[in-house]
Each structure stands twice: as C-alpha cells, then as structure tokens.
Structure 1
Amino acid sequence: MELNSDQLRALCAVIDQGGFEAAAASLHVTPSAISQRIKALEKQVGAVLLRRGRPATVTEPGAVLLRLARQVAALETDAVQRLGLDEAAGRPRVQLVVNADSLATWVLPALAALPDISFEFTLEDQDYSADSLRNGTAMGAVTSSPGAVQGCSVEPLGTMRYQPVASPAFIRRWLPEGWNAASAATAPMVVFNRKDSLQQRFLRDCFGPGVTPPHHFVPASWDFLQATRLGFGWAVLPDLQAGPLLADGSLVLLDAGRTVDVPLFWQQWRVELPALSRVAEALAGAAGRELC
C-alpha cells in the first residue's frame, strides 16, 4: 500500500490546527480539499482516522498515521537542511511533551543552548506523557514510564525529588498540633490538576489510604508554587523549586526526611534526526546535573 503524502499532510494539519478550515488555510487549499483528502485516506486504510469535534482528535488508527506523517515531515526538513535547498524550510521543529515541574526547572535552561531549533512544548503529567508518543503528537517525552513506546527508545534521566512543604502561617493555622492523620484530614492541600497524584501519594505513605483533605487546583507550575507560599495549602514541591524558599524561611517542611521520588525517563522516536539527537543530549546532560 502506498500512502499519499498530501493526504498525510492534511491529517497533520487538521490535528495541528484543530479543524478543517484552519488546516485548509495553513495548506493554502479549500476546506473541501482537506475533507476529500481525509476521506480518501480513510477509505484507503479502511478506518476512521479523525473524531470530527472541536478540536479534531485522532482515533487509534489515525494516531498511527499521524506519527508516520510527522516522522516523514521531520525527515524531509532534515534532508532539505542538509542539502541547503531552502533556508526557510531548513529550521527543524521538535515537538516535546514534558511535565510542568521539569519544564519550569531544568528543561528550559537545558534547551536554551539550542537556539537553531524551534520547539513546540506540550505540558502533561509525567505519568501520562508517553501517550503523546503513541498518538503521534510528540517526537520526544520526559516521562515516568520506563517501558518504551512502540517505535521509540528509552533512557533513564534520573529522579526528581519532592518534599512536603507549607508556609509558616499555614502551619500555625492548620497544623498547630503537628503533622498527623487528624490534621492532615482537614488541612487543605494544593493539587496541580486531576491527574496529579503526588500529594495523595505522600498522604498514603504517611497515613495509609482514606485521608482526603480539601484541595485547591492550581494548574501552572509557578502559580502552584505561589499558592503554596501564600498559604492556600500544603503541597509536595520539587527540591529545585522548594530549596531556596526553605532556605529563606518562606516555606517549612511538614515531615523532615520524608520525600516523594519520581524517576524520569527520556523517550523519543527511533528515527535518525540530528535535531532530536541534540535535544536528547542536552536533556541528558542537564538531568545529570540537576536530578538525583
């Protein structure tokens, strides 16, 4: 079976742009042309490839073709760059999925040394980030999953260490008798989003299952840190963020010596792309310096 490159580009464009009209504009064709290309591709492979919502998303068969389409596009860009055929098309773009804490601490400084690469970051909890490799929306991922996604390689990065902290004012108000099961059940906590299980993991380690305090959702790494510092609730924060605030007294430890450790791994496509190899090298170097 020979797949049509224009149809694969149309599939990519619909996902990247979120719908048929925006995809048509990005490829300088009509929405009808995009629709025809997608229908032809679906007919050829015998499967529905897109869920036609707002935004459009891929089905499981669509994810297979989306990843192929992205790999072909990346290889084309690399070939153009190597041959010097088109300077405008020669700047590689690397799509990465990264957990918010890593992006806010060690990932961005590591990749700042690669100014000739364009990056597209997607934030996702480390327990779920490998899904973006499976569905074709990312070329590489910082993930907690040690099992390689099909078609990808995996390398250990190190361990991101978290500590349970709160502001002094929060301690005085909510934990006057100290950190125990009774106080933990009523003291509010800060949670990143509904996928964030780190606070509950810490509670289980301390007191077993069943402790469910009230909580605030704060889905941005810097704002999450600020909410904790301002006393909205207690939280587990990465050492890279908590360290300076513990040193100056803005935060204090809830339970000295108890940590939550999250092993991190780098997964990427098994495709020979110099830009992706440089990203992997930069991240591995930074992880070796910053992670446990």
Structure 2
Amino acid sequence: MNAAIPLPLAEPQPLARTCKQDADKLARQLRRQVGKAIADFGMIEDGDKLMVCLSGGKDSYAMLDVLLQLQKKAPIAFSITAVNLDQKQPGFPDHVLPDYLRSIGVDFHIIEQDTYSVVSRVIPAGKTMCSLCSRLRRGALYAHADRHGFSKIALGHHRDDIVNTFFLNLFFHAKSGGMPPKLLSDDGRHVVIRPLAYVRESDIEAYAEVKQFPIIPCNLCGSQENLQRAQVKKMLAQWERDTPGRIENISRALGNVCPSQLSDPNLFDFPSLGKRCDAALPDAHAWLAGDEMKID
C-alpha cells in the first residue's frame, strides 16, 4: 500500500496580503484625516517651508510619514525638514533619528540644547517637569525656526491629546480652552500646526507597529506617574471603555462651539442681548453699592 502523500501546507501569502491590506487601509485613513485637517484649518500653503518636530515617539514619526506621503500628491508645493531637539537626557541614543532620517532621504536638523540639566536642577525631585520643559523646548524650536526661515512648525499632537488638554484646563485651570489645530504664537511670529488633530492615538499606535518606527522612549516627563495629564488620560480611557465613541463626540464638540450658550462675556455680548434702550447699563459696583431705588 502506498504511503499517503501529505497535503501541502497552506501558503502564507493570503495572510501576508491581508496584513498588507490592513496596513494600506490604515495608511489611507490617516492620509484622509490629516488631509482633511490641513484643508479645514488652512495649515499648509503653497511655498511653505515646514519644520516637522520629531521627538522619536510614535506620534511625530507617524506625522512625518503621512506628511511625506501627502507631499507627493499635494495640489501645492511645500518643503519638509525634520527637526529634533536633543535635550541631552542621559542615555539618549542620539544616533537613532539621524540614521532613520538618512535611510528615508529626509532633510533634517538636530538642535543640541541641554534643557535636561536645567529642568533637573530647577524642579524639585518628585515634582512634574512638563511646564518648564515645554517652555524651554518651545523656545529652542521657535529660535531655530527663526534662524532658518521656517514658515510653519508642525507638532505631533493627536485628537486624544487635544481632548486631554481641554479637560486639564477645565479641571485644573478653570478654563474652557485647549490645544487648537492651528495656533499663532503670542508674538505673532510663528504658526504652529497639528496635522494629527483628527487622528486617534490607537490608530497611531497601530500604524507605528506596522511601520516599525525606531521608537525612542522618554525617560524625563513620560515616566512621571503623578502627572495631572496621566490622571485625565486614565479617566478618558475609562469613559471610552464604558461608552465607546465618547472621545470622538467630545472632539467634535470642540469644533462646534455655541458662544451664546456659555458664560464668557468677552466671547458673547450678553449685555446687549434683548436690551430695550440705548442707555448705559449700570456696572457691578452700582448694583452692589448703590442706594436703594424708590419705586412708585
């Protein structure tokens, strides 16, 4: 009796094709969301010289990657330069970003500024470093943009960062404000854009895994467990588990503001609402300290 001939093993190609299809679908989704954000907020103009800030984290890698894809088919011409601020953190692998950027043929600048020592010296042990670190980092990036004539500064904040910042301001600073997709600096000299404003962090995580970006972990602020931002992020994650889609609704609400249904007199002219005559209205001092009025 002839021995049974074993059946051939299933070829792995269909699975590989499926993975590639999923990756391509995710890439298309990110391009669509970034393209929509660019169009909705007028982030990039013809002739722009774009400074793309690259930290070594998943968000900035994804931002650079998607912008490079869009640049190839964009209806306008603009340049991209990746810029990294080497803050001289101990153990920082300073070869990773240059090696990666050379491998993909992207123009890049590395700024060297020892902000780590400044923050470590000024901030007491156990206290959050984010505020001072952010100011020093922003100052270094703005100065570099000035020196090299960049017209836009692109940061890798995504949809979840924007929602997170809104609640940070709400809970800890008594302010209804957040992180706008496009921002003019206080001195009017720099335009900051956030092309990932519509992109979910979970999609960026999946994309970074597919692309195998050489992620550099942050051991300065990202490792601090007592951050207010970490508390808010944990809260939002629980909300999303309890009610999927809630963060997306909050994100949309930030772009659907009704000033007359809030309480900021600088944002909406409440005193003129329903006013019956042109006489000036009494101010708060008159209401609180004035004499009793005689009513016939």
| TM-score tier after normalising by the smaller chain length | under 0.3
Kindly name which structure, 1 or 2, has the bigger radius of gyration based on alpha carbons: 2
TM-score normalised over the length of structure 1: 0.23
Higher share in strand: 1
What TM-score results when the alignment is normalised by the length of structure 2?
0.23
